[in-house]
Structure 1
Amino acid sequence: MPFIAALIGYVTKRVAIEMMFKPVEFVGIRPFLGWQGVLPANAERMARIATTTLTRNLVDPKEIFARLDPDQLAKEIEEPLLRVVEDVTREVMEQYQPRLWETLPNGAQRMLLRRVQADAPRTIAKILREISHDVEQVLDLEHMVVTNLVRDKALLNRLIRDISRPEMRFIARSGIVFGFILGCVQLLVWALTKSPVVLPLFGILIGWFTDWLALKMIFLPRLPRRFFGVFTWQGVFQKRRQQVAEDYGEVIAREIITIPNLLEAVLRGPKSDRLFEVIAREVRRTIDQQASVVKPFVAMAVGSRKFQEMKQTAAAIASVRVPETIRHAENYAINAFDVRNTIVDRMSRLGPLEFEGLLRPAFRQDEWKLIAVGAVIGGLVGELQVLLLLH
């Protein structure tokens, strides 16, 4: 009986752990006949909790973007930027006056391209400085993180699972120890009573109590505490602060606050219009400044109104094409942002309660379901023991 009780303790823990994360999508007949992992089922709520902790306590977008040197970034993307400038210029000219570009003297073509290209890096640096002073005008970091975690529920699973693997192992292994101890009590009660009710009741107790106790021991006590004057205990998660910080920072920097994700958020997020407005304004200004040599000729050929439309079109195309060139400076941006080390440093300063908030929400609201499942499995195994012993 003690060994079977230990097995019940272990199996109920393993089932509870897997039910937290799997399946990623609902399996069964909605709304009640089936199951979806606790985390994926509450993806948006969990993502918002994780994002709140991330944006309020760990990562300040203004501080991160302030680490970028606009002149250095412009230098990193200079080559692809010049190609984009040339492509935009040719595309606009050919769109509005297919023959005009060919009729321009080669010297005039090269002069226009050189002058616009020469000012492009300075224009980009100016745009970056303006944005970095108030990055929240073009980037909604919370929206970006929530969107990515909700869209990719497997990523949300990895975020929680990767930082809590030792805690998951502790839950499973503790079930063996607690189950064996309760099994010894069960054996004694069974020997004295031979009541068929004892085994199912103890099965329920083992499944429920060991799940509940293991979850509590992960987080509590938050600070080391001595029990019975014999041993000292601290919540497993709290005890691993440094390793948790490093793992969490690694996942965030590698899979969430990445250059591709930031670019997507800036270009397609709820504040993307502001970025396009800034780029379009600077492109129009640059055209007015640098195209002065050929401007009279172009305006005469296509008309002043048409020339204004050409500027607007150039600005619109550049607003889409220019930000993509930032991808060529990905390595520089990653090193400058230094997201991983920033998170590790900030997490080391969190209080015990704030630190607990990184993982505890994954358990708190639905942990009763996991405990209930453990109790049901324990009861079924207890009833099976009765059938084997008495029949």
Structure 2
Amino acid sequence: MEFNLTAVLNHPNLYQLLSIPVIAAIVGWTTNWLAIKLTFFPLNFIGIGKLGWQGIIPRKSAKMAAISVDRTVARFGNLQDVFLKLEPEKITRHIIEQTDPRLEEYIDEIMYEKHAVLWENLPYTVREKVYAWARKQLPKRIEALVADFGEELSDLVDLKELFVGELKNNRELMVRIFKEAGDAEFDFIVKSGAWWGVLFGLIMVPLWVNYPTNWLLPLGGFFIGFLTNWLALNVIFRPLNPRYLLGFKIQGMFLRRQSDVSKVWSRLVAEELITVEKVARSMVFGNNADRTRSIIQKHIRPALDQAGILRLVTQLSFGTTGYAELKKALQEKAIEVSTEPFHDVTFNQSRAPIVASVIEQRMSALSPREFQDVLRPAFQEEEWQLMLIGGVLGAVAGLLNWLIFF
């Protein structure tokens, strides 16, 4: 049959033809909206056996986190630079302020555990001398300890372990970071689906008038659902590098917003992931915990060797072995409480903007190819599945369009 545009304009039931672009717009909007939802939700698998669905990002949170840290945080240079910007003297002062009021409590806990009778029967003036000795030792020991940590921070903290571990165990946080960083792009994907749908629907109208076969609308619906998803994703990330057409700059939406996305991503990472508290916990309990503990012990041991009255009383009562056991207990207590000063929410919040500024500065300097990999892996892993789902829904909508209107 010869293609005839006049047949469209003279069609007796024009409202039927108008249903095609309208349905196509609904298909485009719905499939793109669903693609975004299926990327992030549900957080946990819903279904029976292998038949079901879990959001792509929650399902592959560990892999996504590893990709993200490899291509962003891991490239931000050594941690010593960041540490110096955090003002070590403020960290030292904070630790002392948090620890000093509890020194007596810590000493009492250890003494009552190891030598309760001795400690209970010691004159209070003797115990006061032990407390005074500890309080005198605290500032210089903490200052030296913080300085040592700063020099070896890159070796003590495994950023990838920290980043991946946090996101793997907190899928909701993973979703929030990706959603907030790419909020404008995700909104565009959904809205553009309707416009692409109208365009493809208008193309379908003359095809249907001239070739009104029962399979055309379902087939057209499949391609509309598939292509609207494909186009939206590619407009966000392509072209990779800026191009100019008639004086207008053309580049993928996500890449054009590199500065804005860097600010959002950096703020969330600094506030939720690379906090002072979590870095400290990673040092003490992470892959390099043995090295951290040896540094703590290196600074505690000399102080205990100069313990004066505590050493004398313990050795007189329990001998050299008894004091050695007490030293070990004191060192273990120092390690145990080493992260406690960083539980302070206000202190963590005060340091977060400094970390964020470092991350933002270096993230903004990434090349377009490197920068797209901050968000692209979230889609690239299984975007063909999302496009296929869009195509299937489009085919169903096309079939309903044919059954209802034609």
Query: 2:314–2:322: 8 Å Cα contact kept in structure 1?
Result: no
Query: 2:284–2:335: 8 Å Cα contact kept in structure 1?
Result: no
Q: TM-score, normalised by structure 1?
A: 0.92
Matched, 1:26 2:45: yes
Secondary structure of the 1:98 match is: helix
Matched, 1:262 2:279: yes
Query: For each residue in 1:93-137, what CA deviation from the matched residue of structure 2 results, as whole angstroms up to 9, or x when unmatched?
Result: 333332323443443322222122111111111111111111134
- For 1:373, the aligned partner's letter is I
Against the structure 1 CA distance between its residues 48 and 185, is the aligned structure 2 distance closer, same or farther, given a 3 Å change threshold?
same
Q: TM-score, normalised by structure 2?
A: 0.89
Query: 1:159–1:251: 8 Å Cα contact kept in structure 2?
Result: yes
Aligned to 1:234: 251
- For 1:247, the aligned partner's letter is V
Against the structure 1 CA distance between its residues 244 and 80, is the aligned structure 2 distance closer, same or farther, given a 3 Å change threshold?
closer
Query: 1:77–1:328: 8 Å Cα contact kept in structure 2?
Result: no
Shift of 1:146: 0.2
Against the structure 1 CA distance between its residues 372 and 110, is the aligned structure 2 distance closer, same or farther, given a 3 Å change threshold?
same
Taking the TM superposition and a 5 Å limit, the aligned residue runs for 1:54-93 are 54-58=72-76, 60-93=78-111
Taking the TM superposition and a 5 Å limit, the aligned residue runs for 1:331-342 are 331=347, 334-335=350-351, 338-342=354-358
Query: For each residue in 1:278-306, what CA deviation from the matched residue of structure 2 results, as whole angstroms up to 9, or x when unmatched?
Result: 223322220112x2245334311221111
Q: Which runs of 5+ in 1 are unaligned?
A: none
Aligned length: 387
Aligned to 1:300: 316
Match of residue 151, structure 1, among 169, 175, 182: 169
Matched, 1:366 2:382: yes
Aligned to 2:289: 272
Aligned to 1:100: 118
Aligned to 1:353: 369
Aligned to 1:135: 153
Q: Which runs of 5+ in 2 are unaligned?
A: 1-19
Shift of 1:70: 4.0
Matched, 1:321 2:337: yes
Query: For each residue in 1:183-202, what CA deviation from the matched residue of structure 2 results, as whole angstroms up to 9, or x when unmatched?
Result: 11110011112211221111
- For 2:393, the aligned partner's letter is I
Aligned to 1:386: 402
- For 1:250, the aligned partner's letter is R
Give the Cα–Cα distance (whole angstroms) in 2 for the partners of residues 30 and 12 of structure 1.
25
- Percent sequence identity is 29
RMSD of the alignment, in Å? 2.1
Aligned to 2:269: 252
Match of residue 52, structure 1, among 70, 89, 94: 70
Matched, 1:3 2:19: no
Against the structure 1 CA distance between its residues 93 and 389, is the aligned structure 2 distance closer, same or farther, given a 3 Å change threshold?
closer
Shift of 1:322: 3.3
Pick which of 257-266 and 236-245 moved more: 257-266
Give the Cα–Cα distance (whole angstroms) in 2 for the partners of residues 370 and 336 of structure 1.
36
Query: 1:138–1:274: 8 Å Cα contact kept in structure 2?
Result: yes
